Chain A
Amino acid sequence: MKKLLTGNEAIARGTYEAGCLVASAYPGTPSTEILENISQYEEIYSEWSTNEKVALEVGAGASIAGARALVAMKHVGLNVAADPLFTIAYEGVNGGLVVITADEPGMHSSQNEQDNRLFAPHAKVAMVEPSDSQECKDFIKHAFEISEEFDTPVLFKVTTRVCHSKGTVELGSRVEVGIKEYVKNPKKYIMTPANAKTKHLEMEETRIPRLMEYSNNSPLNKIEWNDRKIGIITSGAAYLHAKEVFGDTVSYLKVGFSWPLPDKLFREFAEGVDKLYIIEENEPYMEQFIKAMGIECIGKEIFSVCGEINPQIIREAILGEKVEEGYKLDIEVPSRPPALCAGCPHRGIFYALSKHKNKIVVTSDIGCYTLGSAPPLATGDTVICMGAGITAGIGFDKVNQMADRGKKTFGIVGDSTFFHSGMTGLVNAVYNKSNMVVVILDNRITAMTGHQENPGTGKSLSGVEAPQIDIEGLVKAIGIKESNIRVIDPYDMDANANAINDALVATEPFVIITKQPCALIKDVQKRRANLYCQVNQDKCKKCKTCLRIGCPAISMKDNVVSMDTSMCNGCTVCLQVCPFKAIESFGEEVI
């Protein structure tokens, strides 16, 4: 049967067909839907782990115990999971272990652009790179087999275009491979220096040479001979773009198994063509290898290491064809940046913080609340990575004190991010006597990636009830004194203001927990469906204060300020900030 699947759906399908039994991940664009789809197969135990390192360790444990295991993450997630990856590479596997890295050339929704192919030679793990949905499904099965045959974890590298593009896929059926026998083997699975030294040697002397041999003969690396004037070595989505431009008029070497790289195949191909181009996204990963072999080729001289590659870029770079421009208008088009939703629980606390702009520094983090840094709220000085909302705050605060700037540091972190890597940061803040304020925005969901469950929501990935971890209790246990904790409703502007005022004068680490579920959660939408606010036009002085809270439901058209009642959820933040009491609230909650 043929079906239209995204790369992520196809990976999930391939995982199912391959007889995988355990899957774990932390959500992150563009990888999120892989686990969401896997969780629909009852045969596979699947979980949202608290972070990517945890996910990989869960997968490794399952693999050693004898089951095929899959672990998924976005590119920056692999940085978090790098620690176990490098050692699991030494230990190898029992049941196959596949680690997905979903990279983002073009950075549509990530904080950086990194080419995770480079992790493969660094960690010395085999690597596989599919180009489209059909290959996603097929290659996952290969990846499990390679993992078991060569006793190595396999890095499965995809990109946004592969993950989020749909293509036709021929479905197969699941093959139960069962659970392999586990035989206790400390020399393989306990990486003390002595064992690790043996393992490292063994890897260099046996595993890698075997993998190199495989790379040159792998069905995943294939040459398509056509006209030999031009030869193109390419991989991943770049292959599709090249094929779109040249069709069958040039020869291709498509690399699907990309660490170790196929040296003999490269040479054979290079010798067979007049002119050789390397088309790959981001880093000159294959190009450097090929050039180091003494083979002449053209790559990053004409292609950028920044951003995605597309057919147009290839056409211009190789054929020198300027594309004909499309239509052009004489209109100035205003930008449309993403914004905190109408009724978002984060708006109130951000607005309250913005009132203290000159007295505070705000170190923010990754999540919807990153948007609090954008105008008009413009509350945020830094965003680095998951968890740094707290830890960067600690460092910032120390220096602020040294320089005697008289500014308080507020570190922002969401509930899911707190579980991901915020907890260790908070431990550090307490232990090292930071004077910062940590604001945990508990909206009862992992909102940014599309509403995934987390340890605070009371549900697991498969929707079953789960123990709910109590953030306040945790914060206390970590050592924040009860008198330095405020648990507030961020819709209540007085509560926001009071908590911030208390925090400003605190001389010890201080935690504010805001509790109000994300406005887009289905039950919340239902409950608040009839609530809304509206402007009493007789009282409105057009002072525009309400416009400055950045709620997309509020607009000023033809000098009339009003709320789009279909968007508004009656959170009343605007009502509370209006200096002229011109806003009124209507409706009742649906219980």
Chain B
Amino acid sequence: MAKSLLLVGVGGQGTILVSKILSEGLLEEGYDVKMSEIHGMAQRGGSVTTQIIFGDKVYSPTINKGEADVLVSFEKLEAARYVPLLKKGGTLIVNEEEMYPLPVLGGLEKYPDGIMEELKDKIEKVISINARVIAEELGEPRSQNIVMLGLIVKALGLENIDWKSKIMKFLPERVHEVNIKAFERGINV
């Protein structure tokens, strides 16, 4: 049976990088992998999604309403936006990071209160962390996404794959050490 993973976040958060690392590892493990990314106007702070489906044989690269086995959100509000795509009984992994969309910054709309409570109330399986706090402890706020990678790997039970070499492949050398640490923190949450 194929498993589907939907990753959502805000442009610039590094969700695509995490998807690339994940797909590469899954491929190496011998899965048939399809990954699909939709970035409207890249990097301009809009909402970004990537989809990964893996299994013995995968045809369609798309995940629709109520189909994702796992929804990974790099930001709270995006989790709320995309939960209709999560399968009933599926797992939600969420970073408690808050990033205000422009209409909220400008006071035109409101960033809703109590998102985490509502998510935990409605969804049976929620795993949440504050990746920013962990990343800041490590001295590199931008490694939040790799903390999330660790968490995803743990939640999917994919620890046996050699993720560290993938992280090193996709990231520049000067940030290898801190990102390996970030990954370990994510796995050991």
Contacts and interface: CB of A to CB of B under 8 A. Distances in A.
B45 A555 contact: no
Contacts of B103: 334-335, 337, 375
Contacts of A330: 118
B107 interface: yes
B24 interface: yes
Interface string B32-46: 111111111111111
B62 to A, nearest CB: 5
A427 interface: no
A575 B27 CA distance: 50
Given A341-B44, A556-B105, A336 B87 contact: no
Contacts of B68: 326
A448 B41 contact: yes
Interface stretch (A157-165, A281-289, A352-360): A157-165
> Looking at chain B's contact residues, is the secondary structure mostly helix, strand, loop, or mixed?
mixed
Nearest to B62: A310
A295 interface: no
Given A339-B44, A555-B100, A333 B112 contact: yes
A171 to B, nearest CB: 13
Given A336-B10, A336-B101, A556-B105, A327 B64 contact: no
A338 B62 contact: no
A329 B40 contact: no
A235 to B, nearest CB: 14
A328 B122 contact: yes
B24 A4 contact: yes
Contacts of B40: 108-109, 338
B44 A240 contact: no
Contacts of B41: 109, 338, 368, 371, 448
A501 interface: no
A555 B38 CA distance: 27
A333 B118 contact: no
B53 to A, nearest CB: 9
A325 B38 contact: no
A520 B43 contact: yes
A161 B43 contact: no
B11 A338 contact: yes
Nearest to B117: A331
B107 A556 contact: yes
A328 B65 CA distance: 11
Interface stretch (A82-90, A94-102, A263-271, A546-554): A546-554
Interface string B141-159: 1000000000000000000
B160 interface: no
A205 interface: no
A161 B107 contact: no
Contacts of A333: 77, 80-81, 112
User: Most chain-A CB neighbours within 10 Å: which of B35, B39, B59?
Assistant: B59
A325 B59 CA distance: 22
Given A334-B77, A341-B43, A244 B59 contact: yes
A64 B24 CA distance: 41
Nearest to B122: A327
A327 B44 contact: no
Nearest to B46: A338
Contacts of B182: none
B24 A329 contact: no
A132 to B, nearest CB: 8
User: Most chain-A CB neighbours within 10 Å: which of B32, B60, B77?
Assistant: B60
B80 A311 contact: no
B95 interface: no
B115 interface: yes
Contact of A334 (B27, B46, B66, B111): B111
Nearest to A310: B62
Nearest to A340: B44
B47 interface: yes
Contact of A310 (B45, B60, B104, B141): B60
A544 interface: yes
A42 interface: no
Interface string A67-106: 0000000000000000000000000000000000000000
Given A4-B24, A338-B41, A311 B102 contact: no
Contacts of A554: 105
Contacts of B141: 566
B106 interface: yes
B74 to A, nearest CB: 12
B88 A324 contact: yes
A222 interface: no
Contacts of B90: 326
A241 B37 CA distance: 16
Contact of A376 (B59, B65, B84, B106): B106
Nearest to A131: B59
B102 A337 contact: yes
A2 B24 CA distance: 11
A339 B102 contact: yes
Contact of A166 (B36, B44, B83, B86): B36
A375 B108 CA distance: 9
Nearest to B85: A326
A424 interface: no
Contact of B110 (A165, A334, A566): A334
Nearest to A448: B41
Contact of A325 (B65, B104, B123): B65
B123 A331 contact: no
Contact of B27 (A108, A168, A550, A552): A168
Pairs A-B, 9 closest by C-beta atoms: A338-B46, A338-B44, A244-B60, A326-B66, A334-B109, A336-B101, A312-B64, A165-B61, A166-B35
13 contacts: A4-B23, A4-B24, A132-B61, A164-B37, A167-B34, A244-B60, A326-B65, A331-B80, A334-B77, A337-B46, A339-B45, A375-B103, A375-B108
Interface of A: 2-4, 29, 108-109, 132, 160-161, 164-168, 237, 240-241, 243-244, 308, 310-312, 323-341, 368, 371, 375-376, 448-450, 520, 544, 547-548, 550, 552, 554-556, 566
Given A328-B84, A336-B77, 6 more contacts: A325-B65, A326-B68, A331-B114, A332-B112, A336-B47, A338-B44
